[in-house]
Amino acid sequence: MSEQSTNYIVLKPIAERFNKVAKEISDDDIKDIIKRAMSEQIKSSFDFSRIGDITETYVEEHQDEINQMIFSSINDRMKMPSKYY
């Protein structure tokens, strides 16, 4: 038996199974698989761990401004007519 015949005998059942499974997958399933793969690639491409550090540093450095903004917002809210509550 030639190598080509042996390969055909071995690979034909695998190809038939693959073909059967491929026919059962819907377009929506394929889209979901692609979306998940892209999402994982994007997540692994960017380092979001530094965002917490940056936010914490910003708040520490601008605490007086943030407090003033909060107090102003509360003060403005207290001046509004009751129909806005």
Question: What are the tens digits of pLDDT across the range 6-52?
Answer: 888 889 999 999 888 888 888 899 899 999 999 888 877 877 777 88
Place of tokens 């407090």: 67
Whole-number Å distance between alpha carbons of 81 and 25? 59
Assign 3-class secondary structure to the chain: CCHHHHHHHHHHHHHHHHHHHHHHCCHHHHHHHHHHHHHHHHHHHCCCCHHHHHHHHHHHHCHHHHHHHHHHHHHHHHHCCHHHC
User: Global pTM?
Assistant: 0.38
pLDDT tens digits for range 27-38: 899 899 999 999
Confirm if 75 and 68 have CB atoms less than 8 A apart.
no
